[in-house]
Chain A
Amino acid sequence: MSEPVPQPSEPDEEPADSWLGPFAIFGYAVAIAGGWAVYEMLAYADLPTFTVAMLPTVTGIAIALAVFFWIGSRAPSNE
């Protein structure tokens, strides 16, 4: 982990229609699927044990999703 955080890709590496390319579409799928997984746990928020039993896990999942998108968006293209 000693290397610096990757820098955003150069503009010429990004396709013009990136918001509708397969990378973006699969990204939306991750967002929906991940959002559903988080929602599933939040549906238990009325339980008294939620904060000690489920909250750490669901928070970890939410953060992992954010990191997934952050690293993925800044990583170099596969081209």
Chain B
Amino acid sequence: MTDSTIPPPSPEVGYVPEPIFEKPPILTRVLETAEDKIREPLARRKFFQRLFLLDRDWMTRITMLMLIGAMVWGVIGGLDAYGFQSQAYDYATSGTITLTNQEIYSSITLHGLRMLFGFAQQLEMALFGLLAINAMGVKPRHKWALYTSVGLINASIMLLEGPFYIWPAFNDNYFPSLGWTFSSPLGIQGQSAYAIGPLWFLGWYALTAAVLIWAGWMLVHFRDWLRSRPAGAAGRLPVSLLFVFATVILIPITYGPLLVSTTWDIGTYYLGWGLNPLVNQVIFWMFGHGIVYVLFLIPVAALYLLIPILSKRPIYSYRFAILAAVLFIILTPLLGIHHLFLTALPTWATYTTMVISFLIIIPSAVTFFSLWMTMKGVRRSQWEWNIVALFALLAFAGSIAGGLSGPDVATIGANVDLHNSLFVLSHFHTITILAILTGAYAVLYAVFPLLCGRLWFSTWLARIHFLTTAIGGIIIVVCFEGLGTLGILRRQILFPNVPAVDLYNVILFAGIIVILVGQLFFVLNGFLTAYRGRPIVTSGLSFDEAIRTAARSTYVGSTVPVQDVPVQRKATRARREHVEKLWVGSVIVLIVVVLAAATPQALSVTNGITSATNAPAGSEYVTLSGQQYYWTVNETGPIRGTFDNAIVAYAGQWISVNATATGATQSLYIPFRSLPMVNVQVVPGSDSYALFQAPSTPGVYGAPDGEFDGPWFGQDAAALIVLPTAGASDLSAFQSGGGAGDIYNPPVLTAASANLVGDSEGLFNHSIPGPTLYAGAGVVSFRWEVPLSSIGTNNYLVNVTSNDKNAQQQYVIDHNYTLPYPVGIYEITATHGLRLVTAPQSLRINRVITESVPLASGVYLYGLVSPVSYSYNPDGQSNGSTGSQLGEVMGLWGVLWVGP
């Protein structure tokens, strides 16, 4: 390594201390024998021998196994994203969805789990283990500990997928996963309508055990390296290994809270322990955010490794690199609450977390400045733009782009506008794709030839891989950002069918395909390299030279020699560190100034959520009770009454909200653009508050649940119905004014020409709530229909779930095309809530209904205005070991606005 002074390992180091007994334990002997029995016949077949490196030492074999495992999960995780976005593409282009809500919800959850743990975590373990053992020059030991870790991490991903049925009919969409975002008590039997099976918890335990075992295994080798140094030697770790070491330290700090959170859930689930969902979420997020930094240290370590090697220069400042590593370790565990800024956590907790979230800019600033400065003075002719260098460049840029959008979401005032929107996914995927993934690829391209002893097979495959990864990744990030800016929520498949949203979703799908196909080029190149690549000659080369030799095989016509060059730096350490100090000092000053400027708004937001603010006279007092999957709304004030998923207020009136929830965290989300946005998370067991002013323009404003509280959360959308303060009004001002920019506003249709058609999601015209119908006072007519073809395997309107695709339709036919749910037109009154103004009728399927009713000016609801109880239970497979899913779902309703 360029900037290291590693002493040669002492003869004792790396060798297992003399065992107490002459032979290894019997279990080890059995395992060794079993391994040999499996390996030897396979090693005689060239395919297996080359692919799994079966003729090599055990460390190489296990590392290769981890790399293959990571790539397998990466491909499957990519296909999960493809599966989800293919549905979004279909919904955007044709309004149809093929997969069930359960499959969609699961696919996006499993995408996250497989990518983060099966792929990225496993890849990190493989690469960091390989780098550390080689760079420290110690002999690897404790083979079976490493094998156990590898086995457990791959088993954990399978466990997290949950159960599936092979008989009587194959079913793999049954309660597999809870969700990457842990919304306690979501998933816990007895606490939530969406309960999962025990495999989920076992999966988390297995994952935690796997990673902790690996961290322990690494610590043993760090200790070996320490002991290997001659007495009094001042050897220091290579700079990249500082961050490998930081990762090893962070792992128990990060995974420990996961262990606590999971155990608490299991205790609640099976032993009846008490649960505080908010505290549980805080504990979980110590893991949930920490894991991002554990993985972010992949590109950090990669860049600290590769930039000095490619530059043939030592890192600009070793001591500032140490500072960065230490700060990452100290600050990372303290950031989790910034995912919970909009809950009813105490102000001191959220504000402190905001400050800490800003402080973690410092180690990142040190890192990327030092890396940049390391290259200063390197001439163009001394640098080779091979694939390693290109991926390093992309990881560098991606880290900065993703890192700089971090302070945005970490600013409490801005978090109101960004939380759970697709902006967050833009930020997150900038880090995961354009920093973590690309950083990992930079290292992989550098060390894979050393691992398998062969040079890269194809430069062209490597180039295509780089280009597709870059292009696909950038498309994904840009589309997520565009959708987030519009206010679109993450995970939501039932998004508003407006042109901009549809277009972004189509392009996003293309981006996912591009990046997925691109990874196949890498897999192909990796396979061909292991199978047919030319042998790499590293004898006589230093570690850095060997890396350059490997990187060189991804470049055509190289003229840059791989040999190390002695460096005598002109600038003294004091001068270089002075520059670093100046930079860090500037960053600290900026952080202080920004925090000071952002504090008033931050305190205003958190105080407004945690306690009721004095509402002006004449306010509407709204009590929201969050169910899965709708709000019950009780109103007192000028308007009195009870509604489901409808909040009613007068134009310009102040609305004071007191919200609670059961079953899952929910949120009141009204993504205004020309007015301050409303965004409050409501965690079961705690009260949340909001005080906001209704728009001054009468109309119907969309208010979806901003928390993905289960597979039906797409239907969980309310409406803020703003009535004229006096007399009647039409909707022309509402329409011309853009409805305050709320992307979730239902479209406005003229009642007489409207053609409402129920769809497979139990909605009218793919809109939730259904389109707002407008008519003048007098006889109001409109037509609606729920065709039989809209009833499939998964329409909540028919409480029949089966693996038989015709079961729901057959139920409808058997019940004379009538479902026992009241539908009609209801007047919104100021004193008594809803009043039915049509004759009572049940929901008829496959019949065109033409309503024709004399109505006075006012605002009405039409359709099925109360929730439908639904239980997902195909073929009776719902039980304690597979999980269960109940729901109170509504979607087949809308507002009828009768003007003057």
Please report A residues at the B interface, Cβ cutoff 8 Å. 1, 3, 5-6, 13-17, 20-23, 25-27, 29-30, 32-34, 36-38, 40-41, 43-44, 46-49, 52-54, 56-61, 63-64, 67-68, 71-72, 75-79
Contacts and interface: CB of A to CB of B under 8 A. Distances in A.
B404 to A, nearest CB: 3
Interface string B660-674: 000000000000011
Given A15-B379, A78-B576, 5 more contacts: A22-B389, A33-B404, A54-B408, A71-B369, A76-B579
B218 to A, nearest CB: 30
A1 to B, nearest CB: 5
A52 to B, nearest CB: 4
B398 A33 contact: yes
Contacts of B404: 33-34, 37-38, 61
Interface stretch (B136-144, B596-604, B870-878): B596-604
Interface in B478-498: 481, 485
A34 B284 CA distance: 31
Contact of B376 (A38, A64, A72): A72
A72 B372 contact: yes
A77 B373 CA distance: 7
A37 B435 CA distance: 14
B313 to A, nearest CB: 5
Contact of A40 (B374, B405, B586, B677): B405
Given A23-B376, A76-B570, A49 B417 contact: yes
A43 B365 CA distance: 24
B372 A23 contact: yes
B567 interface: yes
A22 B400 contact: no
26 contacts: A1-B581, A6-B579, A23-B376, A23-B378, A29-B393, A34-B401, A38-B404, A40-B423, A44-B417, A44-B485, A46-B741, A47-B417, A48-B674, A49-B414, A53-B416, A54-B413, A57-B407, A57-B408, A61-B404, A64-B590, A67-B587, A71-B586, A72-B372, A76-B579, A78-B378, A79-B567
A61 B397 contact: no
Contacts of A68: 369, 583
B260 interface: no
Contact residues on B (Cβ < 8 Å of other chain), bracket: 35 or more
A67 B590 CA distance: 10
A57 B397 contact: no
Given A29-B393, A60-B594, A22 B375 contact: yes
B417 A53 contact: yes
A78 B590 contact: no
Given A6-B575, A17-B379, A53-B411, A48 B675 contact: yes
A43 B379 CA distance: 38
Contacts of A1: 581-582, 585
A15 to B, nearest CB: 4
A36 B397 CA distance: 10
A13 B575 CA distance: 15
Given A21-B378, A29-B393, A64 B400 contact: no
Interface string B454-483: 000000000000000000000000000100
B586 A49 contact: no
Interface string B375-398: 111111101000001000100111
Contacts, number: 192
Contacts of B416: 49, 53
A78 B374 contact: yes
A36 B401 CA distance: 7
B590 A60 contact: yes
B166 interface: no
Contacts of A41: 405, 408, 414
A30 B741 CA distance: 33
A47 to B, nearest CB: 6
Contacts of B485: 40, 43-44
B376 A75 contact: yes
B414 A54 contact: yes
Contacts of B316: 78
Contact of A27 (B372, B481, B673): B372
Contact of B375 (A26, A58, A67): A26
A33 to B, nearest CB: 4
A16 to B, nearest CB: 8
Nearest to B381: A17
A47 B400 contact: no
Nearest to B602: A53
A27 B373 CA distance: 10
B401 A15 contact: no
A71 B585 CA distance: 12
B45 interface: no
B400 A30 contact: yes
B809 interface: no
Given A3-B578, A47-B673, A57-B411, A21 B380 contact: yes
B383 A49 contact: no
A41 B486 CA distance: 13
